[in-house]
Amino acid sequence: MPKTFNTARSSFIFLAGLIVVGVVKFGLMLIAPSTDKKWSAPILITHVEESSSSFAVHLWNNKPIGSQSGKKFYFLGENGHWLEKISPQLKDVTFYPLAIDPRGADAFFCQLEYTNKKAPAIQTLLKVKLNPQGGIELEKRILLDAIVGNAFKVLNSRSNFHQEISVGCGPGFVSGSEAYIPYDVQIQNVVERITSTGTHQTGYSDGGGKYGLLRSEDGGTSWEMLPLDDKEVYTLVRRTNSRRYLFTLQKQRELSVSIQPTDSSAWSRPQLLCDSVRNNFLAVPEIDTVHLCWMDTRLKKGIGFFIYGDWDVGRRNNQVFYRNLQDGNAVGVKERKLSGSLSYCGAPTMSVEGKKIVVAWEHYLKPYTRAAIYYVTSTNNGRTWSRIHRVETFSQTTAEAPVVVLHKGIIHLFYDRTEWPNRRCDLMHQQRQFPD
């Protein structure tokens, strides 16, 4: 073979190799997350002597309001700083928000009271209102046992038999005078007897669980119970302009939805949305769309469990997924992976304003290392997404458990900054303009 031909072939192969390497590098540059340095410097919100600040943000009467550990509230001030406020009526109460009207002033909280260490907590509904000055006023207390618990108590003539009933509630919604709140009732049968030797014995047996919805159409003055399937499920209900969406999570992984028009009382048959959800999910309603986000474990199915097993910090190749559901005959966005090729993801958070969406999560480069916050955005209701960005936190400490809220075109990011080895947790805040 002529030498010139060999030389030409070698030159062609070398040139082709350079082109391939260039294309791969360019592709990786597009795919690989970049550090976003347009965030404001971190601001300390509060010190928390715990491993987590348990912080959440809610839109209430068109204003973002943060709640922390069932004790404190934070309001966004005119200067862009978050200010702590505690209602005198709730000062000594442990509570958590159940249903908040994003466009109105009404909300329902759940108060927890412990009478003793062995008895379950007594849960009370608190009807509260946000006043024009930004304060929280307590309007009424509604004992859940009086609404739900008494409906399941069994009358029995035996003096040695009674039932212990614990009532719990889940996230619901308030829209004007209408309110829906999921409930669950756990029943335990208790039988007491004295043996032939005079020993007092107490026996317990499972009395089953009951699940359903509490519905009020008069602002919480009266309530109606709507029973659901008796299977153990995590239930969450949301409302858009013309639909109610009932989400259930069975076996901590099977996410289903039933839909009900607002002018009807009939729910559709449950539709399975995903069977690989990891423990929990987010559902954010906005106008005519419900946006869903969750940690997904589909890579761990079958033989994948031996490759990405939960012994690997439980996060490896748990992926951040998104989809949405739209009212009427509109076709929603099918599920989409947002976390790209990143491993060790966790704690996704999401906020929506109009057609703008921001999703953030914590990410570890490898096990037992410091976490960082990554995020993506969409400007067209979830149809397309930006590349993945890393938040510049200006710190060598870990940043985890992110919470985002999008308000008036500004992304507000809260996260836990944990210091080792004492595990003291600082709640931090940063913000930036929503990217065009």
pLDDT digits (tens, 9 = 90+) for 232-289: 677 899 999 999 999 998 888 899 999 999 998 889 999 999 999 988 899 999 999 9
Scored b (16 or more CB within 10 A) or e, 148-186 reads bbeebeeeeeeeeeeeebbbbbbbbbbbeebbbbbbbbb
Tens-digit pLDDT profile for residues 165-196: 778 888 999 999 999 999 888 888 888 878 77
Query: Does the pLDDT at position 396 exceed 80?
Result: no
Give the model's confidence band at 25: pLDDT under 50 very low, under 70 low, under 90 confident, else very high: very low
Question: Residue 21: its pLDDT value, please?
Answer: 43
More confident residue, 159 or 122: 122
List the Cα angle 282/285/286 in 5-degree steps. Answer: 135
More confident residue, 214 or 193: 214
Stretch (H or E) spanning 377: strand 371-378
**What single string gives the DSSP state of each residue in 221-256?**
SS-EEEE--SS-EEEEEEE-SSEEEEEEEETTTEEE
Question: Residue 15: its pLDDT value, please?
Answer: 55
List the Cα angle 41/292/325 in 5-degree steps. Answer: 135
Give the model's confidence band at 380: pLDDT under 50 very low, under 70 low, under 90 confident, else very high: very high
Segment 386-398 mean pLDDT: 82
pTM of the prediction? 0.84
More confident residue, 177 or 308: 177
Lowest mean pLDDT among 52-61, 145-154, 214-223: 145-154
Question: Residue 16: its pLDDT value, please?
Answer: 53
Question: Residue 47: its pLDDT value, please?
Answer: 79
Query: Does the pLDDT at position 301 exceed 70?
Result: no
Mean pLDDT of the chain, nearest integer: 80
Lowest mean pLDDT among 21-30, 172-181, 394-403: 21-30
**What single string gives the DSSP state of each residue in 151-196?**
GGPPP-S-TTEEEEEEEEE---EEETTEEEEEEEEEEEEEEEEE-T
Tokens read off for 207: 């009395």
Segment 380-388 mean pLDDT: 95
Q: State percent of the chain over pLDDT 70.
A: 75
Lowest mean pLDDT among 70-84, 233-247, 365-379: 70-84
Query: Does the pLDDT at position 23 exceed 60?
Result: no
Q: In what order do the strands lie in the sheet with 72-76?
A: 55-60, 63-68, 72-76, 82-85
Tens-digit pLDDT profile for residues 83-114: 877 666 676 677 888 999 999 999 999 887 76
